[in-house]
């Protein structure tokens, strides 16, 4: 009889594992951590450009108030899509200096996930999302930098990433950000594409192809995979598989600190958008970098435009005066489901979600790099908040 009961019990227990994981998450204590999230590139209510941040906040039980977690379609500043091609803009541009100062006091951290913005072609004619046109809203504004400067003055945490200071941000605003936080954009962005064949790859931006053809007598001779660089002056450099590359896919390599402190893998492929930065080593520390692997022909092509094969991926300033991280890639945009955030320990099952993924899929990057790194950053921010509260209320 006992064997028969055990026979039924074990399958039932296994089937109930998702329930136990959810229950463990629900029973975890809530912890207020106020994040000022800015996302100006929200085409749909699912908030793809800030979904990874919202996932980690909710998974770790960090809350916006004492009781309420973060809602992906509400808890940010920026562009808000509505029905019937309507929209609402709620950015920091409408804030007075006094309101910005109050926000910097109320917030524990600021995370700018994307300021690329929304363009008319993709908003009103979404059947051609790879085309660019007149901008509706976007770019880092002077009010944004004023707020981030106040966060720095108040010894708070600031996180920024790819395209926050790139086009369409005004160069004067960009320079203000760069001087405030010790980074500099070189004017170049890039991305790996698993196919440069425009008849096959529908994600190939039309403006990119058009600019290359304009500079090369209407030619686009590429059919394999490759790495594409684009400058703010619309210059385009292509490194094609075999023709220019000894190793096709860009890699992100973590430093010893990146591995020990943030749980980053020593090496992981990175196949999405990145920007090419330099930085002030007296201000920031490089905890991960990108490497591109050109052959001799590729090296000559990069040299023509003074493009490096090694450049920063993650920069950090971790000191009592303020905290700062710059992710030189579109790290927060990952194809994950928000519903999975509400299961404690889901990260231990994550390898099953990406073990068979293709080169350009990004779930593996989320689980192996972004999620453990951001979890540690937020946990550190919460610990410092608690320590500050204890000192204020002995």
In sequence order, what DSSP letters do the residues of 310-371 get, joined into one string?
EEEEEEEEEETTEEEEEESB-TT-----GGGGGSTTHHHHTHHHHTT--TT--HHHIIIIIH
pLDDT band of 196, cuts 50, 70, 90: very high
Residue 129 has what pLDDT? 52
pLDDT band of 44, cuts 50, 70, 90: confident
CA distances from 131 to 59, 66, 162, 394 (A): 35, 43, 19, 58
Residue 12 has what pLDDT? 55
* Residue closest to 116 by CA, chosen among 97, 95, 137, 134: 137
Residue 239 has what pLDDT? 97
pTM of the model: 0.92
**b/e map 166-175, b = 16+ CB within 10 Å:** bbbbeeebbe
Residue 389 has what pLDDT? 74
Please tell me whether residue 164 adopts helix, strand or coil conformation: coil
In this predicted structure, the answer to whether residue 6 has a pLDDT above a threshold of 60 is: no
Residue 204 has what pLDDT? 87
pLDDT band of 314, cuts 50, 70, 90: very high
Of 136-150, 152-166, 181-195, 378-392, least confident by mean pLDDT is 378-392
Mean pLDDT of 247-267: 96
Q: How far apart are alpha carbons 157 and 302 in whole angstroms?
A: 35
Residue 1 has what pLDDT? 47
Residue 291 has what pLDDT? 97
In this predicted structure, the answer to whether residue 131 has a pLDDT above a threshold of 80 is: no
pLDDT band of 352, cuts 50, 70, 90: confident
In this predicted structure, the answer to whether residue 255 has a pLDDT above a threshold of 70 is: yes
Residue 4 has what pLDDT? 53
Q: How far apart are alpha carbons 290 and 334 in whole angstroms?
A: 19
Note whether 169 and 148 are within 8 A (CB): no
Please tell me whether residue 59 adopts helix, strand or coil conformation: helix
Note whether 263 and 247 are within 8 A (CB): no
* Residue closest to 158 by CA, chosen among 170, 145, 167: 145
Of 41-50, 217-226, 259-268, least confident by mean pLDDT is 41-50
Q: How far apart are alpha carbons 158 and 182 in whole angstroms?
A: 13
Share of the chain above pLDDT 70, in %: 92
Average pLDDT of every residue of the chain = 90
Pair type for strands 245-254 and 35-39: unpaired
In this predicted structure, the answer to whether residue 328 has a pLDDT above a threshold of 90 is: yes
Phi-psi category of residue 323: left, alpha or beta, with phi > 0 → left and psi -120 to 50 → alpha: beta
């Amino acid at each position: 009889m006992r064997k028969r009961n055990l026979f039924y019990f074990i399958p039932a227990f296994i089937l109930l594992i998702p329930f136990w994981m959810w229950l463990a998450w629900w029973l975890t204590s809530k912890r207020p951590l106020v994040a000022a999230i800015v996302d100006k590139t929200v085409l749909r209510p699912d908030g793809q450009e800030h979904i990874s941040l919202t996932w980690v906040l909710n998974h770790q039980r960090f809350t916006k108030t004492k009781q309420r977690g973060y809602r992906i379609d509400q808890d940010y500043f920026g562009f808000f899509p509505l029905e019937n091609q309507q929209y609402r803009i709620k950015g920091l541009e409408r804030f007075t200096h006094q309101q910005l100062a109050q926000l910097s006091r109320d917030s524990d951290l600021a995370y700018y996930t994307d300021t690329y913005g929304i363009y008319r072609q993709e908003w009103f004619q979404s059947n051609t999302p790879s085309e660019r046109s007149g901008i509706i809203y976007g770019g880092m504004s002077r009010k944004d930098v004023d707020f981030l400067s106040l966060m720095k003055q108040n010894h708070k945490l600031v996180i920024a990433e790819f395209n926050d200071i790139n086009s369409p941000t005004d160069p004067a605003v960009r320079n203000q950000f760069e001087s405030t936080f010790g980074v500099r954009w070189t004017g170049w962005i890039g991305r790996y594409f698993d196919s440069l064949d425009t008849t096959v790859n529908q994600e190939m931006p039309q403006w990119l192809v058009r600019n290359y053809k304009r500079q090369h007598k209407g030619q686009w001779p590429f059919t394999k995979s490759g790495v594409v660089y684009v400058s703010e002056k619309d210059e385009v450099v292509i490194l094609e598989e075999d023709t220019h590359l000894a190793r096709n896919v860009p890699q992100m390599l973590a430093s010893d600190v990146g591995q020990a402190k943030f749980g980053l893998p020593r090496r992981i492929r990175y196949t999405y958008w990145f920007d090419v930065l330099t930085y002030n080593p007296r201000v920031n520390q490089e905890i991960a970098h990108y490497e591109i692997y050109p052959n001799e022909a590729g090296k000559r092509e990069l040299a023509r435009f003074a493009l490096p094969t090694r450049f920063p991926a993650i920069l950090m300033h971790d000191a009592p005066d303020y905290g700062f991280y710059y992710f030189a890639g579109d790290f927060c945009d990952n194809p994950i489901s928000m519903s999975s955030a509400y299961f404690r320990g889901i990260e231990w099952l994550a390898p099953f979600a990406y073990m068979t993924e293709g080169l350009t899929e990004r779930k593996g990057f989320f689980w192996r790099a972004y999620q453990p790194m951001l979890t540690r950053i937020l946990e550190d921010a919460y610990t410092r908040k608690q320590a500050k509260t204890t000192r204020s209320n002995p």
